[in-house]
């Protein structure tokens, strides 16, 4: 089943108990995302589900909420889990476990994460105390099954999250061994951004008559307005507000909407933007119609310059002054994207749509491009230098206007007095400098931001090849990221190799888990007898090295360093954070 943007469906319509609805309200979720609107009732009904959905679509809640709904209906809780979620990396396992815990807080759900790299004793203790939902990486789950510290006999649901990623990381055998132990009636749910052939084996062996969900409707030709310029920036979540500020200062929108996923995000971002001197107003479903009308009126009358809104609240808005739409989060479906950016480019006017994507969200951008049949240009974040140039241009233009209006006689006396002591050019420069500092944003705005553009392979954009980091499969040598100067890839030397029994998936797992990066960002791997070489994105190579140097593989202490030879290929290190002294 293809999914379109869901409208007018509430979490209550999906058959979720009050406790779950309460936690969703407290998290600021206003309505189900498209994948949730279909997956939740299907899972509650007991069907197996095959969901083609990437990060950012709301897939975690799509499978966690029905699991929790089942938990709510249970009379008593034993020590054995009723649900198991398999995830490719420690990072994702922790994320899923935390989200499930949050959704199930009013049900006192016992959610236990288990993953490689964490002391097994701690996990043995948590499991023995009883768990309702276990979330783990395949290797460690299998480990617990072998030790009999985890029983699957009471399982009612098993979820394979990011199945393609798990297979890319070489977990096929482990997954097969785990699934072979499932009780007969266990519901099987598989989420995967892509459904390559190698997943078909799992599907045909373990999934029965699934409800098949696909996030985008490829066949539907949905062009966005040709008058709208679409761009995206790739930034870590923690840098998004700084990136937004930087881009706002470069773009100088007349009026804009900034879209967020939840009410809480809307409130937080509005506060941050106001604290930085923007005139921003919140707009979300928790506000009365009267309050919402007032907010829109303030934007129309130029009293506000930015509206920070959820999708629900901004539905149908038609504001003539709007020049920009910013997606602070990539929307949960391509249709929602089309809907959001349709706020600009109306009535023959030009508009700009700018999306801030986290590195893991690139697949959502590709899905959007596929739907709109239009490339989203992935751009380099404006640098401090760009910003200064822009500010100088703005000052020049402002000075020009003042000079042309020549309405400054009252200040003549100041110039007269100062010119007795100073040169007239110096006085002019001082005047400009004081104007510059007044119009300048706070110092934290001047932080240099790491440019993650290189981390994202864009779907249909022309320059895809030059920055595509393909996935690394066990031993397989894909042409992964090309080592031309624009790729920014560097090679890491790692002190372990065949002698220590190291396999590609051990290296991928260690790098993905320890440094918290997507395995798709890891390039070629060469394993020699006494050492290995791994290609990683240059911008984060140092972080990866320090994370790896704190870890072990197969009990061996790992030592990593940047391979000398790759220095010539490195990007200049100017992207790293450095604080800037104000003049
Ligand atoms: P996921 O695709 O599960 O990684 O979710 C992506 C993000 O969307 C997470 O930050 C969730 O908290 C958020 N999210 C999930 N469902 C909803 C919803 N119905 N409304 C708003 N935000 C959501």
CA of 275 from ligand 1 middle (Å) equals 26
Atom of ligand 1 nearest to the CA of 55: 2
Identify the top-confidence range among 178-187, 307-316, 337-346. 178-187
Task: Choose one of 58, 59, 65 to mutate for the ligand 1 pocket test, by most ligand atoms within 8 angstroms of C-beta.
Answer: 58
pLDDT tens-digit profile of 75-104? 788 889 999 999 999 989 999 999 999 999
pLDDT of residue 457: 46
What's the CA gap between 468 and 480, in Å, rounded?
7
pLDDT of residue 99: 97
Q: Where are the beta strands (DSSP E) in 9-86?
A: 49-52, 83-86
pLDDT of residue 475: 33
Residue scoring higher pLDDT (459 or 298): 298
Q: How confident is the model at residue 277 (pLDDT cuts 50, 70, 90)?
A: confident
Site of tokens 């149908």: 316
- The residues that bridge with 160 in the sheet, in sequence order, are 86, 190
CA of 73 from ligand 1 middle (Å) equals 24
Q: Closest residue (by CA) to atom 1 of ligand 1?
A: 58
CA of 83 from ligand 1 middle (Å) equals 21
Task: Choose one of 67, 93, 162, 332 to mutate for the ligand 1 pocket test, by most ligand atoms within 8 angstroms of C-beta.
Answer: 332
CA of 61 from ligand 1 middle (Å) equals 7
Q: Which of 33-37, 189-193, 434-438 has the lowest mean pLDDT?
A: 434-438
Rg value, the chain, Cα: 27
What's the CA gap between 338 and 331, in Å, rounded?
9
Q: Closest residue (by CA) to atom 12 of ligand 1?
A: 58
pLDDT of residue 447: 55
CA of 126 from ligand 1 middle (Å) equals 27
Mean pLDDT value of segment 438-459: 51
pLDDT above 60: residue 46: yes
Cβ neighbours, 10 Å, residue 582:
7
CA of 56 from ligand 1 middle (Å) equals 6
Residue scoring higher pLDDT (15 or 539): 15
Q: Tally the C-alpha atoms within 13 A of residue 242's C-alpha that lie toward its C-beta.
A: 21
**In the chain, what are the domains?**
2-221 (3.40.50.300), 228-384 (3.40.50.300), 385-439 (no CATH), 480-571 (3.30.70.330)
pLDDT above 90: residue 416: yes
Atom of ligand 1 nearest to the CA of 57: 2
Task: Choose one of 8, 16, 27, 33 to mutate for the ligand 1 pocket test, by most ligand atoms within 8 angstroms of C-beta.
Answer: 33
Residues with CB under 6 A from ligand 1: 29, 32-33, 36, 55-61, 261-262
Phi, psi of 170 (to 5 degrees): 85, 25
Mean pLDDT value of segment 1-28: 82
Compute CA distances 44 → 27, 47, 54, 70, 333, whole Å.
Answer: 22, 8, 21, 7, 22
**DSSP symbol at 565:** G
CA of 99 from ligand 1 middle (Å) equals 9
pLDDT of residue 1: 55
pLDDT of residue 461: 39
pLDDT of residue 563: 79
Mean pLDDT value of segment 321-325: 94
Task: Choose one of 3, 262, 331 to mutate for the ligand 1 pocket test, by most ligand atoms within 8 angstroms of C-beta.
Answer: 262
Task: Choose one of 27, 51, 60, 213 to mutate for the ligand 1 pocket test, by most ligand atoms within 8 angstroms of C-beta.
Answer: 60
pLDDT of residue 450: 64
Spatial neighbors of 119 by CB under 8 A, at least 6 apart, are: none
Task: Choose one of 261, 309, 311, 367 to mutate for the ligand 1 pocket test, by most ligand atoms within 8 angstroms of C-beta.
Answer: 261
Mean pLDDT value of segment 116-144: 94
Atom of ligand 1 nearest to the CA of 54: 2
pLDDT of residue 504: 80
pLDDT above 70: residue 452: no
Q: Closest residue (by CA) to atom 6 of ligand 1?
A: 56
pLDDT tens-digit profile of 376-389? 999 999 888 888 88
pLDDT above 50: residue 224: yes
CA of 432 from ligand 1 middle (Å) equals 46
pLDDT above 80: residue 255: yes
Atom of ligand 1 nearest to the CA of 31: 19
Q: How confident is the model at residue 448 (pLDDT cuts 50, 70, 90)?
A: low
Atom of ligand 1 nearest to the CA of 59: 3
pLDDT of residue 347: 77
Contact 252, 277 (CB under 8 A): no
Q: Which of 10-14, 320-324, 348-352, 488-492 has the lowest mean pLDDT?
A: 488-492
CA of 336 from ligand 1 middle (Å) equals 13
pLDDT of residue 161: 96
pLDDT of residue 443: 40
pTM of this prediction? 0.69
Q: Closest residue (by CA) to atom 11 of ligand 1?
A: 58
CA of 64 from ligand 1 middle (Å) equals 12
Using alpha carbons, select from 346, 377, 339, 378 the residue that is nearest to residue 227.
Answer: 346
pLDDT of residue 128: 95
CA of 544 from ligand 1 middle (Å) equals 27
Q: Closest residue (by CA) to atom 19 of ligand 1?
A: 32
Q: How confident is the model at residue 130 (pLDDT cuts 50, 70, 90)?
A: very high
Mean pLDDT value of segment 133-142: 97
Atom of ligand 1 nearest to the CA of 30: 20
| Stretch (H or E) spanning 158 | strand 157-160
pLDDT of residue 388: 83
Q: How confident is the model at residue 370 (pLDDT cuts 50, 70, 90)?
A: confident
pLDDT above 50: residue 349: yes
pLDDT above 50: residue 48: yes
pLDDT above 70: residue 260: yes
CA of 569 from ligand 1 middle (Å) equals 38
pLDDT tens-digit profile of 520-556? 778 888 888 888 999 888 878 888 888 888 788 877 8
Q: Closest residue (by CA) to atom 8 of ligand 1?
A: 58
pLDDT of residue 384: 83
CA dihedral 459, 346, 258, 284 (to 10 degrees): -120
CA of 57 from ligand 1 middle (Å) equals 7
CA of 53 from ligand 1 middle (Å) equals 12
CA atoms 478, 479, 483, 489: torsion sign? negative
pLDDT of residue 215: 66
Spatial neighbors of 484 by CB under 8 A, at least 6 apart, are: 466
Q: Closest residue (by CA) to atom 14 of ligand 1?
A: 58
pLDDT of residue 45: 95
Q: Cα–Cα–Cα angle for 180, 181, 183, nearest 5°?
A: 110
pLDDT above 60: residue 568: no
CA of 170 from ligand 1 middle (Å) equals 28
Atom of ligand 1 nearest to the CA of 33: 19
pLDDT of residue 153: 96
Mean pLDDT of the chain: 83
What is the length of the chain? Answer: 583
Residue scoring higher pLDDT (299 or 575): 299
Range 328-359 burial, b when 16+ CB lie within 10 A, else e: bbbbbbbbbbbbbbbbbbeeeeebbbbbbbbb
pLDDT of residue 103: 97
């Amino acid at each position: 089943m293809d999914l379109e943007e869901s409208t007018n469906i509430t979490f209550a319509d999906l058959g979720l108990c009050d406790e779950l609805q309460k936690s969703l309200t407290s998290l600021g979720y206003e309505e189900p995302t498209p994948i949730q609107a279909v997956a939740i009732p299907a899972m509650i009904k007991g069907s197996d589900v095959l969901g083609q959905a990437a990060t950012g679509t709301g897939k975690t809640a799509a499978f966690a909420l029905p699991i929790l709904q089942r938990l709510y209906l249970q009379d008593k809780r034993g020590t054995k889990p009723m649900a198991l979620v398999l995830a490719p990396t420690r990072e994702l396992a922790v994320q899923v476990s935390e989200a499930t815990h949050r959704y199930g807080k009013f049900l006192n759900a016992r959610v236990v994460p288990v993953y490689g790299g964490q002391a097994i004793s701690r996990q043995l203790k948590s499991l023995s105390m009883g768990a309702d939902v276990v979330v783990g990486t395949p290797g460690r789950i299998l480990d617990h099954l072998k030790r009999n510290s985890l029983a699957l006999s009471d399982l009612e649901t098993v979820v394979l999250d990011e199945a393609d990623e798990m297979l890319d990381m070489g977990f096929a055998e482990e997954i097969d061994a785990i699934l072979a132990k499932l009780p007969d009636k266990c519901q099987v749910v598989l989420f995967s951004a892509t459904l390559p052939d190698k997943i078909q084996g799992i599907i045909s062996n373990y999934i029965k008559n699934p409800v098949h969900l696909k996030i985008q409707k490829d066949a539907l030709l949905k062009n966005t307005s040709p008058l709208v310029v679409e761009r995206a920036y790739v930034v870590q979540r923690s840098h998004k507000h700084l990136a937004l500020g930087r881009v706002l200062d470069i773009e100088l929108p007349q009026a804009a909407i900034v879209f967020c996923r939840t009410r809480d995000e809307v409130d937080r971002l509005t506060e941050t933007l106001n604290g930085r001197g923007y005139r921003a107003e919140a707009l979300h479903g928790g506000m009365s119609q009267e309050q919402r009308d007032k907010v829109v009126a303030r934007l129309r009358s130029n009293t506000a310059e930015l509206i920070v809104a959820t999708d629900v609240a901004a539905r149908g808005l038609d504001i003539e002054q709007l020049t920009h739409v910013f997606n602070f989060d990539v929307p949960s479906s391509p249709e929602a994207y089309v809907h959001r950016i349709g706020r600009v480019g109306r009535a023959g006017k030009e508009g700009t749509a700018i999306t801030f994507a986290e590195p893991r969200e690139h697949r959502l951008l590709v899905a959007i491009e596929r739907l709109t049949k239009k490339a989203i240009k992935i751009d380099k974040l404006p640098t401090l230098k760009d910003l200064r140039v822009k500010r100088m241009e703005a000052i020049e233009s402002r000075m020009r206007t003042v000079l042309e209006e020549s309405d400054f006689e009252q200040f003549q006396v100041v110039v007269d007095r100062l010119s007795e002591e100073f040169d007239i050019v110096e006085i002019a420069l001082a005047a400009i400098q004081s104007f510059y500092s007044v119009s300048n944003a706070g110092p934290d705005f001047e932080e240099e931001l790491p440019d993650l553009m290189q981390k994202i392979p864009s779907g249909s954009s022309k320059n895809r090849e030059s920055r595509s980091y393909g996935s690394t499969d066990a031993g397989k040598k894909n042409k992964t990221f090309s080592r031309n100067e624009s790729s920014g890839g560097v090679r890491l030397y790692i002190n372990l190799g065949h002698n220590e029994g190291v396999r590609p998936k051990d290296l991928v797992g260690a790098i993905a888990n320890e440094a918290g990066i997507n395995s798709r960002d890891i390039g070629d791997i060469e394993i020699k007898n006494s050492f290995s070489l791994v290609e990683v994105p240059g911008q984060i190579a140092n972080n990866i090295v320090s994370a790896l140097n704190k870890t072990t593989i197969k009990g061996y202490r790992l030592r990593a360093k940047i391979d000398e030879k790759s220095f010539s290929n490195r990007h200049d290190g100017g992207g790293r954070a450095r604080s800037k002294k104000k003049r």
